[in-house]
Amino acid sequence: DTGVSQNPRHKITKRGQNVTFRCDPISEHNRLYWYRQTLGQGPEFLTYFQNEAQLEKSRLLSDRFSAERPKGSFSTLEIQRTEQGDSAMYLCASSFDTLANYGYTFGSGTRLTVV
Amino acid sequence: AQKVTQAQTEISVVEKEDVTLDCVYETRDTTYYLFWYKQPPSGELVFLIRRNSFDEQNEISGRYSWNFQKSTSSFNFTITASQVVDSAVYFCALSGGGYNKLIFGAGTRLAVHP
């Protein structure tokens, strides 16, 4: 297990379509985070899971966004009825519970382009 | 509210120059953590350093050094004798808002030219 894996790396979709991204964290990590990064900005927190429980959602996560982590392992982030403003890099990160403040391990991200 | 400000949007230097990236933060928490991450063109965020609010000791790691000053709420990052491979976007981040989520600055793009 070499790190956090995200798929796909790139996704181009037409406005109005639904998209789903997958994140496979480091296997021993029980915390999983999703962040969104738009061009020229730092990553912004979207949501956080501890095991399978979604414990916090940012106001950035509109009703069109949903995230799951069904068995406390991999996670999916779905965007329904995509809009051009959803174009961004979606980053996943994972960490140990008690070592979360030691820094997460981030994946390489999924770059979404909505045309 | 928590906030991280990286006032330098872009910095351009010639190889072997020293460069300092500034980071100023705001928080009301007494316990918090500060981080620096590097984002090369590949996109992955690479962890560089973590510092907790009770440890103001400066740190040096090879060509990298960090200066943490609580009195000025700053956590600056210096690269000594920069190299082309240092070219990347560097982010300063703050954690303390519950569940350890990170608040990032807007980043500083560093370009090191041969």
pLDDT in tens, A64-79: 999 999 988 999 999 9
* Exposure string over A28-66, b if 16+ CB within 10 A, otherwise e: ebbbbbbbbbeeeebbbbbbbbbeeebebebeebeeebe
B24, B48, B49, B100: best mutation site toward chain A, by most A Cβ within 10 Å?
A: B100
Distance CA A44, CA B103 (A): 7
pLDDT in tens, A3-31: 999 999 999 999 999 999 999 999 888 89
Cβ–Cβ gap B43/A56 under 8 Å: no
Q: Which residues of B touch A57 (CB under 8 A)?
A: none
Cβ–Cβ gap B100/A42 under 8 Å: no
**Statement: residue B56 has pLDDT above 90:** no
The full 3-state SS of chain B, as one line of letters, equals CCEEECCCCEEEEECCCCEEECCEEECCCCCCEEEEEEECCCCCCEEEEEEECCCCCCEEECCEEEEEEHHHCEEEEEECCCCHHHCEEEEEEEECCCCCCEEECCCEEEEEEC
Compare CB distances from A91 to B45, B95, B105 and report the shortest one's residue: B45
Q: Does B58 touch chain A (CB under 8 A)?
A: no
Q: Which residues of A touch B21 (CB under 8 A)?
A: none
**Statement: residue A100 has pLDDT above 60:** no
Percent share of chain A, pLDDT over 70:
93
Q: Which residues of B touch A48 (CB under 8 A)?
A: 99, 101
